[in-house]
Chains A and B, each alone.
Chain A
Amino acid sequence: MNDETAIRKLARSNYWQNIYKSSQENAGIKIFENEANFSGLQILFLYWLSVYNMIYKELLDKEWAYLSKEMVEDDIRLDAFLYYRGREISKKISRNKLEEEKRRIKSKGKHTGNITPFSVEMIRG
């Protein structure tokens, strides 16, 4: 088992997830013995604590069709899901931006005339 596999196993455990949540709500609860000069392993651990915290919330809220408990416990499947999730969120952001621009052009069009795909591209720059 390599360092990252071990760190992920710890980070998704109930014990560490509870400590993490408590530390978010109560500044008195410390995760590490040291308060500064964090090691690379500790920073990696903090990263995975926050990722699993987010994933567990999304699992509970049934936000994604394929996300399951089995997937969360399987590093390769979860890596794949995180990549897919990132792509889906980017697509959603782009779609929202485009809709927003269309709405903006439409409201401008009321004063300037017809809207064509060309005018959309022109305004997007």
Chain B
Amino acid sequence: MDIETKIQSLQEMIEELNLDLLDDSIVKSNQLPFLYKEQLYRVKMPKQKDLTIAKSIEDKLKIQLLRDSNSITKKALIKVLKENQGIDILELNETKDKYTNRLKDLYMELATTSDKESKRINNLKNSINEVKSNHMQVSIEISDLLSPSIEHQVETAYIKYLTTVCTEKNIEDNQWELAWKDYETFENDDTNLPNLANLCFTRLFLTLRN
């Protein structure tokens, strides 16, 4: 799947989730409801205990992968990509930096326009959107290239575990039960529900980890 198709499918999933984003329920509580095949689900924030278990799962997996000769660290993968396929991640990062600098220049121009200059404002806004989109494409490309790395795999396992323990299915009015009884059931679920729940949980959790 190429980058553009990936972005499109991600956008489609996000649109599917946007029941009514102007509804302030997305911020009023620390839970996020979503529908899947007309069934109501919700993701909630993890408890301290969940975070501790997720961290230990992440650490165990990291040690296991570091011992496995078929696994590769991010640093080594960057080297392999450059030597074997001529793909330079550092160069791609420089391209990203160039887009960031271009964006800053455009921001400086746009910030000093008055409301009357509508044509100039629109042109600058179009250029900003274009630069942002190019920046996002390069970011996705880098993330895609580095996805086989150990670091990426352990991060994915961390989020997947938290998604498993934080996704609940509505039974009755105010009764909820876990959507999957354990991590293995989540992993074996071949519907689109795990992906949707994962996306919802990532939206709710956002950058809290960093």
Contact = CB atoms under 8 A, between A and B. Distances in A.
Interface of A: 1-3, 5-7, 9-10, 16, 32-34, 37-45, 66, 68, 70-71, 76-77, 79-81, 83-85, 87
Contacts of B207: 40
B45 A3 contact: no
B133 interface: no
A9 B112 CA distance: 23
Interface stretch (B21-29, B59-67, B187-195): B21-29
B9 interface: no
Given A66-B112, A66-B113, A3 B107 contact: no
A43 B26 contact: no
B204 A83 contact: no
Contacts of A16: 24
Interface majority SS (helix, strand, loop, mixed), chain A: helix
A6 B206 contact: no
Nearest to A5: B21
Interface in B135-178: none
Q: Which 9 A-B pairs have the closest CB atoms?
A: A40-B206, A84-B111, A6-B21, A80-B110, A80-B107, A39-B30, A83-B107, A80-B111, A45-B27
Given A7-B26, A71-B115, 10 more contacts: A6-B22, A32-B29, A39-B30, A39-B32, A40-B206, A41-B203, A66-B113, A66-B114, A76-B128, A87-B108
B27 A10 contact: yes
B78 interface: no
B46 to A, nearest CB: 8
Contacts of B113: 66, 77
Contacts of B208: 39-40, 43
A76 B121 CA distance: 10
Contacts of A32: 27-30
B26 A84 contact: no
B125 interface: yes
A79 B131 CA distance: 14
Given A33-B29, A42-B30, A81 B111 contact: yes
Contacts of A6: 21-22, 26
A41 B204 contact: yes
B205 A39 contact: yes
Contacts of B24: 10, 16
Contacts of B203: 3, 40-41
A9 B26 CA distance: 12
Contact of A83 (B22, B27, B45, B111): B111
Contact of A76 (B22, B110, B204): B110
